[in-house]
Structure 1
Amino acid sequence: MPKILIADDHDLVRDTIAAYLESVDDFDVRTAADLDSALEAMRGGDPIDLLILDYNMPGMDGLNGLDRARMAYPGTRVVLMSGVANRDVASTAMKHGADGFIPKSLTAVSLVNAIKLVLSGERYFPFDYGISDTGAAPSGAFATLTVREKQTLEQLCIGLSNKEIARNLGVREVTVKLHVKNVLSKLSVSNRTQAALLAKEKHFF
């Protein structure tokens, strides 16, 4: 059973996310109200598999809190969560070794799938926030994708079905099917699994 620690100084946000995660999957979720409490809770107990840190809570001091957590517990995957942080913060977090960046605007289904992706050893950064390893703009076939096609590919990367993608993007399922078809064609791959693997290989999410 994966052990997750959510650190957020907003009681409602923290407790709601924790309760939801425990209700929908086999997660063992613990909580803390600030960075120091989170790091203290990790001492001496069972290893935490995933630490989710709110970017703006007490003790974080920008990305210094991320660095502290990674240095103290190098075996734990660490993800930042924020409702206000912008692309620059997410990009810098990637360079500091964060395993993911989760906007609080993410849908519940996408949140669960993002967490599963990180626990599997991958990194999760939404298209609107992430950058490539070089920091350059998307190139080659990826540069030809429209905004909707990029959003669709992102959802494919976290394993969502066409029906789930349609609900998340607020479009009809037939529209998602068209986006998927266009993504496969533009990336010159034959199925959605290959598209997701290529996106991960190129760090395009």
Structure 2
Amino acid sequence: MIRLLLADDQALVRGALSALLSLESDLEVVAEVGSGDAVLEAVRQHRPDVVLMDVEMPGLDGISATEQVRAAFPGTRVLIVTTFGRPGFLRRAMQAGASGFVVKDTPAAQLADAVRRVHEGLRVVDPVLATDSLVAGESPLTPRETEVLRAARDGSSVAGIASRLFLSEGTVRNHLSAAIGKTQAANRAEAVLTAESNGWL
């Protein structure tokens, strides 16, 4: 029996996934959580074989949670199951230690098969997304530019971003300017949108 933990902030999605996967005779959903912050403790308590992880969740995002799980429990596999099939997410998820990456509209039988293959130690990646990822390439942003652009998501002022990240306003302006140039955007709001659509943030 393959023991599963479902991590998704949408209760309806968790319920549907649980119902579908529980129909498989060799799969058992042992726990469900609704935030990235709760994943590691749930893995500690329930010792699942495979975690089905969403990317965008409250608190810790799914990619960071994947990194935590793989560091603390190397034997536990992670399969990313997300609505957001963005090339940058795929690359970051694999770098964080995920064994697979599929989108939520994957047919139930294929999802169950993906779980089994990941459990066996194989990698499973949505083929369309894999192609898109190769075409898109890696993020052109440095870690600091990424951090500054993330902080600019909510429309904060340069002073607000500087205060939050403990940087000077001049440094924030420089990083924003570099990020705008690298994303070929007209302004920082457009740079945020471009980076988000590519899964770089």
What is aligned with 1:96?
Answer: 96
Cα pair distance change 1:23/1:90, threshold 3 Å:
same
Aligned length: 134
CA RMSD across the alignment: 2.2
Structure 1 unmatched runs, 5+: 138-205
Structure 2 distance, partners of 1:17, 1:61, is: 19
The Cα of 1:136 is off from its aligned counterpart by 5.9
What is aligned with 1:37?
Answer: 38
What is aligned with 2:51?
Answer: 51
Q: What whole-Å deviation, never above 9, does each CA across 1:140-168 have from its counterpart, x for those lacking one?
A: xxxxxxxxxxxxxxxxxxxxxxxxxxxxx
Question: Secondary structure at 1:59's aligned position in 2?
Answer: coil
Instruction: Name the amino acid aligned to 1:49.
Output: D
What is aligned with 1:83?
Answer: 83
What is aligned with 1:118?
Answer: 118
TM-score (structure 2 length as normaliser): 0.60
What is aligned with 1:70?
Answer: 70
Structure 2 distance, partners of 1:118, 1:61, is: 21
The Cα of 1:51 is off from its aligned counterpart by 0.8
Instruction: Name the amino acid aligned to 1:70.
Output: R
The Cα of 1:87 is off from its aligned counterpart by 1.7
What is aligned with 1:193?
Answer: none
Summarize the alignment of residues 164-203 of structure 1 with structure 2, pairs less than 5 Å apart: none
* Aligned residues of 1:50 and 1:76 also touching (Cα < 8 A): yes
Instruction: Name the amino acid aligned to 2:21.
Output: L
What is aligned with 2:7?
Answer: 7
Percent identity (aligned)? 33
What is aligned with 1:25?
Answer: 25
Instruction: Name the amino acid aligned to 2:129.
Output: Y
TM-score (structure 1 length as normaliser): 0.59
Deviates most, 5-14 or 20-29: 20-29
* Aligned residues of 1:60 and 1:66 also touching (Cα < 8 A): no
Structure 1 distance, partners of 2:82, 2:101, is: 8
The Cα of 1:19 is off from its aligned counterpart by 1.2
User: Which entry has the higher C-alpha Rg, 1 or 2?
Assistant: 2
* Aligned residues of 1:91 and 1:129 also touching (Cα < 8 A): no
Q: What whole-Å deviation, never above 9, does each CA across 1:158-186 have from its counterpart, x for those lacking one?
A: xxxxxxxxxxxxxxxxxxxxxxxxxxxxx
Question: Secondary structure at 1:71's aligned position in 2?
Answer: helix
Structure 2 unmatched runs, 5+: 136-201
The Cα of 1:44 is off from its aligned counterpart by 4.1
Q: What whole-Å deviation, never above 9, does each CA across 1:59-92 have from its counterpart, x for those lacking one?
A: 3336322212211221100111110231221122
Cα pair distance change 1:75/1:93, threshold 3 Å:
same
* Aligned residues of 1:34 and 1:57 also touching (Cα < 8 A): yes
Instruction: Name the amino acid aligned to 2:63.
Output: L
